[in-house]
Amino acid sequence: MIKKFTSAIIFIAFIFSVCVSAAPSPGDSSLCSVVVEAESGDIIFEKNAHERRGPASTTKIMTALVALENSRTDDIVKIDPRAVGTEGSSAYLCAGEKVLLSDLLYAVMLGSANDAAAAIAYHIGGSIEGFAEMMNARAEKLGLSDTHFENPHGLDGESHYTTAYDLAMIAREALKNENFRNIVSTKTKAVKLSDGNVTRVFKNHNRLLFEYDDIIGVKTGFTKKCGRTLVSAAERDGVTVICVTLCDGDDWRDHRKLLSAGLELYERVTLCEKGGEERIVHVCGGEKASVGVCCDEKLSVTLSKPHGKTESVTELPPFVYAGFEKGDTLGFVSYYLDGKPIGRVALVAKEGSAVKLKKKNIFGK
């Protein structure tokens, strides 16, 4: 039996784009920085991108990701007394009050509330240490060997560190989560606190969101030890780039310059439109001798500019046996750039084909 897929796109393997430069960041005043293309993770620009430094409140990107992956946004969180009065930026939570997890996440990602981050940690991890272990496990799953968290809020710690590159990879993963993406792109949010009796409005600390239409987040940070830290992302014409700077006194200007430079180096290319790549396949033992196939999803990839000509290879058998349904996968089209795979799309049947019943003779055979 031919396996039926709900989506024509099976995978996009090894998205390939020529490494643009991996050179020192242009016009960058940070100690460490990196700009990456979000789909492939390719480094566009970098400076000391693998040097370990404190992340300050950009830590909260991982906090939000772990929370969203291990809880529901409509969960009710009873504020643990140990979270109340956490040093630094605060939502001024009260012990025992009940708050939606989603509201705590807005407080964390817009208002950078350390007590809200701690409350999430106690709710999901049982303790600050337990939640930090979850954060470290998630970093390890991403293959990040230069990141270690002690807490969910980013206050300085002896073994609380990451790198510009690792932060970019964490942000890249987090931006795949629709809830996370919606939260960090929100400019202001009214949150119910004190069991719904008090409304507090949090304004996103990311100034770039208010100044440029292509900015989609992500998080600011600062401690005296770390200096100013910033993770931002921009999307234009289907292309997304992520920028990270650590210890940068001119981060707003640097990010705008770096993001714009990165966006100019890539473009979104459509390899197959929905219903495209029409082919005919011969059918054996069916009511019809052949059936049409096509891709039932649009397939697009991000490629660096300039790039070579894309090529496609169709993978279809000489014939298929009847007994399949509309939408069943009968073959594939693979796409290549300079001989490297950049995408693969399933070819699905445009209609089903029942097995042809053999007519009986006068003897019932």
pLDDT tens digits, 55-95: 999 999 999 999 999 999 999 999 999 999 999 999 999 99
Known catalytic membership, residue 112: yes
- Out of 30, 57, 102, 232, pick the active-site residue: 57
**pLDDT at residue 26 tops 80:** no
pTM score, whole prediction: 0.85
- Domains of the chain are 1-18+269-365 (2.60.410.10), 32-264 (3.40.710.10)
From the candidates 112, 185, 232, 353, give the one annotated as an active-site residue: 112
- Mean pLDDT lowest among 223-227, 314-318, 338-342, 355-359: 355-359
**Residue 260 or residue 28, greater confidence:** 260
Question: Is residue 145 among the annotated active site residues?
Answer: no
Catalytic residue among 40, 47, 60, 185: 60
* All residues at 6 or more sequence positions from 311 whose CB lies less than 8 Å from its CB, including other chains: 335, 336, 337
Is 304 in the active site?
no
